[in-house]
Amino acid sequence: MVRDVKRRVALIGLAAGAGVLATGSSVLAQAGRYKEAASVTELVRAGKLPAIEARLPENPLVVPVVERVGEYGGIWRRAFLGPADSNNYIRVVYDSLFRFSPDGAKIEPKIAAGAESSADYKVWTINLRKGSRWSDGAPFTADDILFWYTDVLLNKELTPTLPGWIRNADGSAAKVEKASETAVRFTYLAPATLFLTAVANQDGADRTFAMFLPAHYLKKFHPAHAAKADIDKVAAAAGFKTWTELFANRNAPPENPERPTMAAWAPISRASDPIFTLRRNPYYVGVDTAGNQLPYIDEVRFTFFADVQALNLAAIAGNFDMQERHINMTNYPVLKDQEKTGKYRIITWPTFGGADAVIAINQTYAADPVMGKVMATKDFRVALSFAINRDQIKESVFLGLGEARQGVPAPWHPYFPGAEWAQKYTEFKRDEANKLLDGIGLTKKDAQGFRLLSNGKPATIEISVVPAFGAWPDVALLVGKDWEAVGIKTIVQIRERALHFKMGENNELMAEVWNEDTSAFPYTGNAKVDPRNAPILTMGPLWRRWYATSGKDGVEPPPEMKRIVEIVDKARTVGPEEQIKLSQELYRNWADNVYEIGTIGLTPMVQGVVVAAAKFRNVPTTLGNDWPLRSPGNARTEQFFFSK
């Protein structure tokens, strides 16, 4: 049932991360208790692989199954849009030390065995699984994290600026030391309560370096460990200008199948090939509850599609075993209709809070100072929010799914500020909107009925929209009509995405349509409530400059926005209860000031329509669906299987 999106999820200390996390059970670690795929057994017999006990760590990761213990074999057919879509791979394998649970409520150990923190959250120790191995059989130890720290993170050429999660307030890097062969200690100057949330996303996504790297393989491409002249020769032969390019390329599994990984499947071809293939990693640390080594599925094959429509047609034809990425929600009726052929079933994973289309209003728009000032007026934004007929948007664009809401977390999330805030200003009240607009002095109108600004020009807003998730131009068109009905002239500009982003960077956009995801993670990653990140949302580019230049340049944010930033900084260093309190305050503030005007949320629009073959099992029917959760990675893809 699609409408049944509200799951009751028991959330425990999501933000702070429990001080100590359970380490994998070692009950199964007796000889003969583990089983493996027949194809792997053959390789063992042929002497090409060591026995299973030697491949698994002492305390393997025990992965609970969704429906039942699975069967080995099969090729998981998927689709992707080429190398720029390598996050498709990233999300499927979710190759990280810790990962989010399926409901997104917990952070659980994956490659690592667990972690513990000091009472003041300043010192964190990550414990690795003793005896765990890379996909080429080499041991995975603390040195692999230390290599990342010393030779990659602290290498100015590879990492010109430190990522926020490892940076102290004074700009220095947190200290990372080897506590033992299988333990690494992180020491921060201030409490780091969100340490694990950050670690759960250090998986090498977006052309970054994961926080654990195969040192034994990568050292030969690093001048600290190999002769620079040799590396340069290899780089030149491969067409790279510098050793850093070579290193980045050798480190990226989708670009280099030789690079060992810790994931359940490792690439055997490249993302630039017509089919990007991953094959079972016989050293994967996970087993199911019956002691079968995971993954069940032999291979994952991503077929290249140049066009999303062709991809959707192939999905409707049943050419994929499980695919949620790039499936357009507008095709839901067709998919659901074809479901009766029995080839596949359709599952929906609504987004993890926020709103699936918001209109961000630029608060620091400078090209037209008069209009810019109006846009920075709260009553103006509230009026625009009241003017929107969200019911029409819901019916036209979201197939009647979801609910009218602002971009705040979902009701089941501890940061949820309460229903009255989620629905703040979302009622369709045209009279109220007109009253508010009159109230801020936009009383005079021109012949066409548009309100005039103090300089005599009609109040005009341009909504820039990128057809990224298909339906946004429609949202913009509908919103534009509603705004014109209250006397605000609205121009909808559908733009090519790169142009749109360039304009956003240059503070040239007045308003844009995007989605407000990541609302459950305001403190890590690139949360959109924090104007200092905002490379994506156009809320206040000059606020960002103000923060980046420590107030020398740009525009000083209003007190409400400063409070949000203050909360973001503070919440990173406080305990769980305090954090929840601060977060709720943050989102009350956020909803009340409507920097972004929410429309409809909690729909499966963003990668939430899942086409799963009838035989493809163990796919959860509910899942926290968001980028920081790496969905479908948090569905524990290694336990997906084909039933015979």
Partner 1 sequence: MSGTSSAAEDRVAIASNWRLVWWRFRRHRLAMISAGLLIFMYMIVLAPDFFSVQDPERTDARQAFIPVQMIHFFDDGSLSPWVPTITGKRHPVTLRMEWVADPARKVGVRFFARGYSYRVLGVFETNVHLIAPADPTQRIFLLGSDRLGRDQWSRIMHGTQTSMTVGLVAVALSVILGVVLGGLSGYVGGKTDQVIQRIIELLQSVPTIPIWLALSAALPRDWTPIQVFFAITVILSLVGWTTLGREVRGRFLALREEDFVLAARLAGCSRMRIILRHMVPTFASHIIATSSLAIPVMIINETSLSFLGLGIRPPAISWGVLLQEAQNIQTLALAPWLLTPGLVVIVAVLAFNLVGDGLRDAADPYSN
Partner 2 sequence: MTRYIAQRLLILPLLMVIYSFVIFLIIQAPPGDFLTAYVATLASSGSSISADQIAALRHQYGLDQPFLVQYFLWMQNLLHGDFGLSLEYQRPNADLISEQLGLTLALALFSFVLTWAIAVPAGIYSATHPRSLIDHVLTVINYVGVATPNFMLALILMWLAFAYFDINVSGLFSPEFVDAPWSFARVGDLLFHIWLPGLVLGIAGTARLSRIMRANLLDELNKPYVVTARAKGMREWRLVLRYPVRLAFNPLVSTIGWYLPALFSGSLIVATVMNLPNIGPLLLRALINQDMYLAGGILLIYSFLTIVGTLLSDVLLALLDPRIRVES
C-beta atoms surrounding 63 within 10 Å: 21
When asked if residue 481 is in the footprint of partner 1 (CB under 8 A), the reply is: yes
CA distance 40 to 2: 40
Question: Nearest distance from residue 306's CB to partner 1, in Å?
Answer: 12
What's the rounded Cα separation, in Å, for the pair 370 and 365? 10
Q: Are strands 75-80 and 299-304 parallel, antiparallel or unpaired?
A: parallel
Tell which positions 320-359 bind partner 1, by CB under 8 A: 328, 330-334, 336-337
Kindly provide the b/e burial profile for residues 556-565, where b requires at least 16 CB atoms within 10 angstroms of the residue's own CB: ebeeebeebb
Cα separation, 466 vs 498, whole angstroms: 9
Q: Minimum Å distance from CB 426 to partner 2?
A: 23
Q: How near is the Cβ of 83 to partner 1 at its closest, in Å?
A: 20
List the one residue from 200, 297, 492, 511 that touches partner 1 (CB under 8 A): 492
Identify what 342 binds: partner 2, partner 1, none; CB under 5 to 8 Å per kind: none
- 240 makes contact, choosing from partner 1, partner 2, none, with CB < 5 to 8 Å by partner type, with partner 2
270 binds partner 2 (CB under 8 A): yes
Give least dist CB 176 to partner 1, A.
Answer: 44
Instruction: Report how many residues bind partner 1 under the rule CB under 8 A.
Output: 39
Q: What x-and-dash track marks residues 302-321 binding partner 2 by CB under 8 A?
A: -xxxxx-xxx-xx-xx-x--
Give the CA dihedral 531, 534, 537, 539, nearest 10 degrees: 20
Q: Binding marks (x or -) toward partner 2, 78..117, rule CB under 8 A? A: ----xxxx-xx-----------------------------
603 is a site residue for partner 1 (CB under 8 A): no
- Taking each continuous run of H as one helix and of E as one strand, the counts in the chain are 20, 24
- Rounded to the nearest 5 percent, the helix, strand and coil shares of the chain are 30, 20, 50
Q: Which region among 115-123, 130-138, 499-507, 614-622 touches partner 2 (by CB under 8 A)?
A: 499-507
- By CB under 8 A, name the one of 273, 446, 569, 585 that touches partner 2: 273
CB of 464 to partner 2, least distance (A): 12
Footprint on residues 518-577 left by partner 2 (CB under 8 A): 518, 525-526, 533, 535-536, 544
| Closest of 343, 268, 256 to residue 301, by C-alpha | 268
φ, ψ (nearest 5 deg) of residue 186 = -110, 125
Task: Give the binding range for partner 1 (CB under 8 A) out of 87-95, 194-202, 248-256, 486-494.
Answer: 486-494
Task: Count Cβ atoms below 10 Å from residue 317 Cβ, excluding itself.
Answer: 10
Q: Does 79 bind partner 1 (CB under 8 A)?
A: no
Instruction: For residue 155, state whether it binds partner 2 (rule: CB under 8 A).
Output: no
- Number of chain positions touching partner 2 (CB under 8 A): 76
Q: Does residue 474 touch partner 1 according to CB under 8 A?
A: yes
Amino acid letter, residue 513: V
- Provide the terminal-to-terminal Cα distance of the chain, rounded to the nearest Å: 26
> Residue 309 interacts with partner 1 (CB under 8 A)?
yes
Closest CB 14 distance from partner 2, rounded Å? 20
Q: Nearest to residue 300, comparing CAs of 347, 343, 324, 264?
A: 264
Q: Is 223 in the site for partner 2 (CB under 8 A)?
A: no
Which residue among 9, 176, 205, 374 contacts partner 2 (CB under 8 A)? 205
Q: Give the burial class of 641: count Cβ atoms within 10 A of its Cβ; 0-12 exposed, 13-18 middle, 19 or more buried.
A: buried
| C-alpha to C-alpha distances, 212 to 27, 96, 97, 262, nearest whole angstrom | 27, 8, 8, 9
Among 1, 10, 31, 161, binds partner 2 (CB under 8 A): 161
Q: Which stretch binds partner 1 (CB under 8 A): 188-196, 249-257, 387-395, 444-452?
A: 387-395
**Nearer Cβ to partner 1, position 77 or 390?**
390
- Position 446 contacts partner 2 (CB under 8 A): no
State the chain's maximal CA–CA distance in angstroms: 86
User: Across the strands, what pairs with 279?
Assistant: 266, 299
User: How far is residue 199's CA from residue 574's CA, in Å, rounded to a whole number?
Assistant: 18
- Of 120, 177, 181, 245, which one interacts with partner 2 (CB under 8 A)? 245
249 binds partner 2 (CB under 8 A): yes
What is the Cα 508 distance to its own chain's centre? Answer: 27
- Output the CA angle 440-446-447, nearest 5 degrees: 150
| Residue 8 to residue 413: CA distance in whole angstroms | 9
Q: Which is nearer to partner 1, 75 or 494 (CB)?
A: 494
- Asked if residue 361 lies in contact with residue 384, where contact means CB atoms within 8 angstroms, the answer is yes
Return the number of the residue (319 or 583) whose C-beta is nearest partner 2: 319
| Rg of the Cα atoms in the chain | 26
The reply on whether position 312 binds partner 1 by CB under 8 A is yes
Residues in contact with partner 1 by CB under 8 A are: 2, 309, 312-313, 316, 328, 330-334, 336-337, 391-396, 399-401, 462, 467, 470, 473-474, 477-478, 480-481, 491-494, 496, 499, 503, 508
